[in-house]
Amino acid sequence: MRTSVKKKTVRFVRRFSSFLKMRPGGFALLSVLMIVSALSVLVMTHTRESLINLRMMRNFSDAKRAHYWAYGAYNLAISILQKDNNNYDGPGDIWYGELPPIPVENAVVSISIKDEKSRFNISYLVNQFGIEDKRRRAMLTRIFDQLGLDEDLISGMVDWQDKDEIPVSGGAESSYYMSLLPPYQVPNERFKSPGEVLLVKGMGRKEYFLPPSAREVHTEEGFSALRDCITVYGDGRININTAPIIVLMCLSEDMSKSIAEDIVSYREENAFKSIEELKNVESVTDVLYDEIKDLITVKSNVFRVTCTGIINGITETIEAVLFRQSRGVRVVYFARSA
């Protein structure tokens, strides 16, 4: 574009100069003004395009450097998880809690490491034979009640994973999904990612991404969105060292909010080294412990890592789900977003 404007302007100046040579006298001043005007257009166009190109190059350079910082933070997160080799995961570990942003040179880097076992695993709504697990459904129902979500959504999540083509009450099987535009198949197998629930009948972005307060639903204050409560990674057990109150409450009908708060208060002072230590919490009865002991753990091996690099307002983010193993980590999910 710049070359085209330049050529046209030069041709115009040359033609106009030739025209003026045939017309002396009063055209002298006009000729100067016209040529200066034409050259001004050329200079302004060239300058504007140069500034745009310079800004684009600078943004590209900042984005590239921001990505390098995010990737460096990602590798640091892996190193942190590899060095965390004690017999429990939770308070006291370097990754636990909110890590403050780190200023580095002219950038800001942030690292977030979250335990996936602090969430309810929706893949265990069906057992290994593809049959609905009533106990797990009851657990998720308690979470949905706290979030103000329709229980029919759980039926859809069960039908999405179970082996038969008979809809659970409120759910849907292949005939429903194949009637949509565009149509798609029900996999009849366990979820591969949490976001897959957005394909389930009735589950929209509002139900998945927004907390109750943003949906104008009256629930307990401070509860987060569904996406922060569920996972598809891990063995289905819930880490009592890291689970939020809403997830602890799903373990049993007898797990009240006050008992869950007692558990959180206790672990902040004394992280649970074994599940038996849960009985040290005064409000946890032997009956309650015996009911939930097969659902809980104090150790985790799967973590969600989110690392961000920010330079001059340009943000690059890396998100990954990592399985920690005896030899390094295995990446099961990786995404980069700007």
d(CA 306, CA 193): 16
Question: What pLDDT does 216 receive?
Answer: 74
In sequence order, the 6+-apart residues with CB closer than 8 A to the CB of 170 are 150, 151, 152, 155, 156
Q: How far is CA 229 from the centre of its chain?
A: 12
d(CA 105, CA 103): 7
Share of the chain above pLDDT 90, in %: 70
d(CA 194, CA 227): 7
The pLDDT tens digits of the residues spanning 210-246 come to: 988 888 776 665 678 999 999 999 999 999 999 999 9
The pLDDT tens digits of the residues spanning 76-135 come to: 999 999 999 899 999 999 999 878 898 988 889 999 999 999 999 999 999 999 999 999
Q: How far is CA 151 from the centre of its chain?
A: 24
Q: 186 and 160 in contact (C-beta within 8 Å)? A: yes
Q: 252 and 291 in contact (C-beta within 8 Å)? A: yes
Tokens of 14: 């040359």
d(CA 63, CA 114): 26
The pLDDT tens digits of the residues spanning 1-22 come to: 445 545 555 555 555 555 555 5
